[in-house]
Amino acid sequence: MHTDPLETFRDEARELLVALEQNLLALEENPSDQEMMGAAFRNLHTIKGSAGMFGMDVLVELAHQVESVFALVRDGKEQASQGLLSLGFQAKDILGDLLAQHPPEEALRQRAQELKEAFALYDHAAQRPSRENSSSRAQPGTGERTERTWRVHITPGPQFLRHGNNPLLLLQELTDLGTALVMGFSDQVPSLEELDPQACYLTWQVLLTTTATEQELQDIFIFVGDDARVEITLVDDVAEAELPYKRLGEILLERGDIDAAALESAISERAYLGEKLVEQGFVSPERVQSALEEQRYVQKHREQRRSAEAGSSIRVSTEKLGTLVNLVGEFVALQAHLAHTAETTEDDTFLQMSEQMNRLVRELRTTAIEMRMVPIQLLFSGFLRLVRDLSRELGKKVSLVTRGGETELDKTVIDLLKDPLMHIIRNSLDHGIENPDLRRTRGKPPEGTVTLSAAYAGAQVLITIADDGGGMDADRIRAKAEQKGLLEPGQDYRQEEILQCIFAPGFSTAQETTNVSGRGVGMDVVQKNLEQLSGSVRVTSVPGEGSTITLRIPLTLAIVEGLLAGIGNNLYLINLSYIERCLDLADIPRRRGEMFFDYNGEIVSLLDLREYFRLTTDQEPPHRHVVVVSAGDQRIGLVVDALHDTYQSVIKPLGSLYDGVEGVGGAIILGDGTPALVLDVDRLTRLSEQPAQT
């Protein structure tokens, strides 16, 4: 199947637009950040250049106008005002619409034209192109130029300073064109008695890696004239990336620091060349040191270029990766069947092959899953814009702080997390964070904070959304829950059970409906999507201090590794990431009939799964076991009849017939074809806190 070039461009452009949005958000915090403005400019320039190849004229025209204004800001001719940045956010949104809709409808064309005209008001220098603009930006329609490394040697003459030349400004203009290494030489400075205060005795050598041409470099010295000797030499090109860079002697000879005779004399001594040249007085130590710096500089850039080429990636659709992981999952199940067959045959050769195959299958499984793992920061960063826009709409001051963005999750899991996190953050801003005046009266800073963090917890990830707002009103939530029949009036409920009601469909305590909330159709999405993820959610809140919502989700949905437990005549799988310890029920000190025990100083309740699932057997097993599992800060002991080996397999969803079965989250097929149910430990932990079923 051939990849559609247009779809590939769209995928890359969407990533660039996300990066553009992040740059604009950073500029709101620090409008003078030239690096962020330069990054935003490059994002637009890349999108514009590629879009032109696909005939997206409206997108190209808008991107070009925005790019022109950003260039003025980058060059210090315009300010990154709030008005301009707000237009930048609008441009990002419309560029995204133009990207998805090609050719664009008339309404979208009109929106793009209006925004283009709004940017044109800032482009007061559009008809006066400067040398800076022409040298630092490629012309429309031209391709990206490759980077090359130049050596620029500057030797000021006697009249250099007297004619008003400033070497620092020249060096700054050079280094602004790319990555540079500036080296100064003082070996021509005379003694104090002979020194002329109006003369410049220093010389400079600049190694510059840039996309600029030689002519553009020469243009920087156009007003220097004969006041200095400027030598520009190409020292490294893309075509030479695979070759080792020049040796020390070649560099010194090429720069004119030594002559061929001096080099030959030093080489004949069979000693370290640099030390010998200095010892014999052919060259100063700083000249040798600068040559070594040049050697390291160019070699470093060549290695970076080779690493970038060697580490280049290809774009693969999520669907293809999903198909691969599913196939690997089936391969895991098949290998389990093979291992079971090998054990029953007791053939040594067959067993050896099975063990080797098992090792390879595990490596294949790990690699396939890692291919779908992406940093959660890609998800977190998208909420910065949401908080910005929503806080302004609500008339509040709110900042979003993200932590643990390097935590990696399955791409499928991240896709299912987007909506739950969005609704939780919207709820925090609308119901949690107070307005600035109320926060001041409560002794809080006027700006509220929502903290979004992620951290590993075994084979799971904990995602926490915390705000420093007013907290949740448990009494108000309970009253509404009793009204809707979610809680029984007069019953004694823990605060966590009451707060959990906010995830019920149609539940809302808002007095009036707004554009943000009040319809009770947001938080139920959290519960629904987490059920698809086999995850759980817990809520804690302190009145006046804020609320915290914690999501516990698996790293991947494809394959689970767990401990097989026998209950009656059935087999169940307990995810290894939940298990803390396995004990013999007879060894647990407790009084007969008690369903709790002392576990390392903590009272932990017991849940007899045979009774819970109403399973009966003809004969009582002689030895029963307790599997201590933890979900969040809750522990429970699951009483089972027997413990078997660990097992790795694909999770299969249960049919609609089993939707009402609490405590079961899926099924697996064992190597011999026997089915086993996967226990939902999170639900069992919560259910154990309620009255036992009869």
Give the residue ranges of DSSP H helices in 311-347: 318-345
Query: Above 70 in pLDDT, residue 529?
Result: yes
The arithmetic mean of pLDDT across residues 606-626, rounded, is: 82
Using CA atoms, how far residue 288 sits from 92, 273, 277, 300, 410, in Å, is 51, 9, 8, 18, 52
Helices 411-427 and 523-532: crossing angle, nearest 10°?
A: 160
CA distance 415 to 321: 14
Write phi, then psi, for 553 (nearest 5 degrees).
Answer: -135, 155
Cα angle 534-540-546, degrees, rounded to a multiple of 5: 130
User: Is residue 217 within 8 Å of 230, Cβ to Cβ?
Assistant: no
- Token pair of 544, please? 């006046």
pLDDT at residue 138, rounded to an integer: 37
- The stretch 127-143 carries a mean pLDDT of 38
Cβ-proximal residues to 51 (8 Å cutoff; 6+ apart), any chain: 9, 13, 59, 60, 63, 99
Give dist(CA 426, CA 387) in Å, integer.
8
Per-residue pLDDT at 548 exceeds 90: yes
Q: Which of 78, 190, 161, 164 is nearest to 124 (CA)?
A: 78
Q: How far is Cα 575 from Cα 556, in angstroms, rounded to an integer?
A: 13
Query: At 80, is the pLDDT very low, low, confident or very high (cuts 50, 70, 90)?
Result: confident
At residue 592, the pLDDT reads: 66
Instruction: Grade residue 534 by pLDDT with cuts at 50, 70 and 90.
Output: confident
The two tokens of residue 186 are 């003082």
Q: Print burial letters for 482-515: b (CB count within 10 Å at least 16), e (below 16).
A: beeebbeeeeeeeeebbbbbbbbeebbbeeeeee
DSSP letter for each residue of 495-520: HHHHHGGGGSTT----SS--SSS-SS
Nearest Cα residue to 420 out of 498, 527, 510: 527
- What is the band of 313 on the pLDDT scale with cuts at 50, 70, 90? low
Distance CA 316, CA 8 (A): 9
The Cα 223–Cα 226 span in angstroms is: 9
Give the residue carrying structure tokens 């409206």. Answer: 58
3-state secondary structure 509-561: CCCCCCCCCCCCCCHHHHHHHHHHCCCEEEEEEECCCEEEEEEEEECCCCEEE
pLDDT, tens digit (0-9, with 9 covering 90-100), for 637-694: 999 998 988 877 767 767 666 666 778 877 887 767 788 888 888 778 876 554 433 3
Rounded to 10 deg, the angle between the 34-52 and 57-74 helix axes is 160
Residue 174 has pLDDT above 90, yes or no: no
Distance between CA atoms of 44 and 27, rounded to whole angstroms? 15
**pLDDT at res. 192:** 86
Q: Looking at residue 268, what is its pLDDT?
A: 53
* Cα separation, 694 vs 692, whole angstroms: 6
10 Å CB burial of residue 142 (0-12, 13-18, 19+) is: exposed
List Cβ<8 Å contacts ≥24 apart for 274-277.
Answer: 274/248, 277/252
**Does position 149 have pLDDT exceeding 90, yes or no?**
no
User: What's the confidence (pLDDT) of residue 610?
Assistant: 86
Measured at the alpha carbon of residue 145, what is the angle toward residues 140 and 151, in degrees to the nearest 5?
Answer: 135
Average pLDDT, the chain: 80
Burial of 425 (0-12, 13-18, 19+ CB in 10 A): buried
Assessment of whether the complete model's pTM goes beyond 0.75: no
Tokens standing for residue 302: 């060549």
Q: What is the pLDDT of residue 309?
A: 52
The β-bridge partners of 563 are 574, 646
**Residues 403, 465: contact at Cβ < 8 Å?**
no
Of 378 and 247, which is predicted with more confidence? 378
Nearest to 163 by CA among 106, 223, 108, 121: 223
Q: Are strands 596-599 and 602-608 parallel, antiparallel or unpaired?
A: antiparallel
Tokens of 446: 């006027």
| pLDDT for the residue 12 | 85
Higher pLDDT, 93 or 657: 93
Rounded-to-integer distance, Cα 82 and Cα 78, Å: 12
Give pLDDT, residue 488: 86
- The percentage of the chain sitting over the pLDDT mark of 90, rounded to a whole number, equals 11
CA-angle at 423, arms to 422 and 425, nearest 5°: 65
Q: Provide, for the chain, the percentages of residues in helix, strand and coil under a 3-state DSSP scheme, each rounded to the nearest 5.
A: 45, 20, 30
In the three-class reduction of DSSP (H, G, I as helix; E, B as strand; rest coil), residue 30 is classed as coil
Percent of the chain at pLDDT > 70 equals: 82
- Give residue 131's pLDDT: 35
| pLDDT over 90 (residue 464) | yes
Banded pLDDT at 247 (limits 50, 70, 90)? low
Rounded-to-integer distance, Cα 468 and Cα 288, Å: 59
CA distance 624 to 641: 5
Give the range with max mean pLDDT: 267-271, 408-412, 500-504, 563-567: 563-567
H or E stretch covering 566:
strand 559-567
> Which amino acid is residue 598, in one-letter code?
D
